[in-house]
Chains A and B, each alone.
Chain A
Amino acid sequence: MTAMQCLPVIAPVTRRRELPGDLAMWCFILAELAVFALLLGSMAYVRGRWPEMFSAGVATLHPVAGLINTLALLTGSYWVALGVAAMRRGRSTSVVWWFRAGAASGLLYLIIKLLEYQQMFSAGYTLRTNTFYFFYFFTTFFHLMHVVLGMLILLVVASRFRRGVYDSHQTRQMAAESAASYWHMVDLVWLMLFPLLYVLP
């Protein structure tokens, strides 16, 4: 037997690419993204087709409200990502607090958005005012419903972490990553709505 034959066989170390969260959650996320692509594409079309009407509509929105909402959702996403990092280190208590903080950022978004709606309704703007307001109210309200659902998912997962419902690292990982992926999707969609409605001149 030669020296080479005595050496142990070492398999090359390759890092497996893993989906963050449950496959079913990802099917849901991709379906939601497809619907939002349609809505965002339609808004972009309206912007190009009737630029004067779109500009007049954008001028009635509150640009600072849009900015604060963006900062709130980005910060919420950061907190939720920190929650996932805490879960990987096995710190369940931290996951609870980071996910609750993420949901709180969603609550701030919700309050600002509702104040914005109230201001616009009292100024006489509704879905029926013109095509811009139809897309504005329809798309942002549809997105708002996703923020509310994301908050509920984060709070439910945080509560289950607090009660110790998840009995293995695998179930903890699946739950935390699924909830976080949904929340980041909501953030990603807003990052495309923000320039269309509040930034692009």
Chain B
Amino acid sequence: MTYRLTLTWLGLLALTLIGWWLGHQPATNEVQPAWLLWAVLLLSAIKGQWVIDQFMGMKTAPLVFRLAVSGWLLVVLCAIALFL
């Protein structure tokens, strides 16, 4: 179990650094490519779901609670994506 938690933590740190690096790429003609925005959002989605499943332990929680928390993540990410 500890091994799994350590892998999750290392994965989360790696995705955070990759996302931060992507978000701070110099823009060409003051416009960032759309794929870059979507990539940052995708990385945030993966990180959020990892925290929910591995750290919070929602993977083994009653389905209604897992859906409520994962649904929250989806709603917030959709709201961000809607106004990108």
Evaluate contact between B58 and A199: CB separation under 8 angstroms. Answer: no
Q: How far is the CA of A188 from the CA of B71 in the complex (A)?
A: 13
Distance (whole angstroms) from the CB of B50 to the closest CB of chain A? 10
Interface size class of A (residues with CB under 8 A): 35 or more
Evaluate contact between B16 and A45: CB separation under 8 angstroms. Answer: no
Distance (whole angstroms) from the CB of A155 to the closest CB of chain B? 19
Q: Is the interface of B mostly helix, strand, loop or mixed?
A: helix
Interface size class of B (residues with CB under 8 A): 35 or more
**With an 8 A cutoff between CB atoms, is A145 at the interface?**
no
Q: How far is the CA of A82 from the CA of B8 in the complex (A)?
A: 12
Evaluate contact between A41 and B61: CB separation under 8 angstroms. Answer: no
Evaluate contact between A198 and B20: CB separation under 8 angstroms. Answer: yes
Residue pairs across A and B with CB atoms within 8 Å: the count is 138
**With an 8 A cutoff between CB atoms, is A115 at the interface?**
no
Interface-facing stretch out of A63-71, A120-128, A162-170: A63-71
Residues of B within 8 A of A74 (CB): 9, 12-13, 16, 51
Evaluate contact between B23 and A201: CB separation under 8 angstroms. Answer: yes
**With an 8 A cutoff between CB atoms, is A174 at the interface?**
no
Residues of A within 8 A of B13 (CB): 71, 74-75
Leading 9 A-B pairs by shortest Cβ distance = A48-B83, A199-B23, A78-B9, A41-B79, A201-B32, A20-B57, A184-B56, A44-B80, A44-B79
Binding site for A on B (CB under 8 A): 1-2, 5-6, 8-9, 12-13, 16-17, 19-20, 22-25, 27, 32, 36-37, 40-41, 44, 47-48, 51-52, 54-58, 60-63, 65, 68-69, 72-73, 75-77, 79-80, 82-84
List, sorted by A's number, 19 A–B pairs whose CB atoms are closer than 8 Å: A15-B60, A37-B72, A41-B76, A41-B79, A44-B82, A63-B20, A70-B20, A74-B12, A74-B16, A75-B9, A77-B55, A81-B54, A81-B55, A181-B56, A184-B51, A188-B48, A188-B51, A191-B47, A201-B25
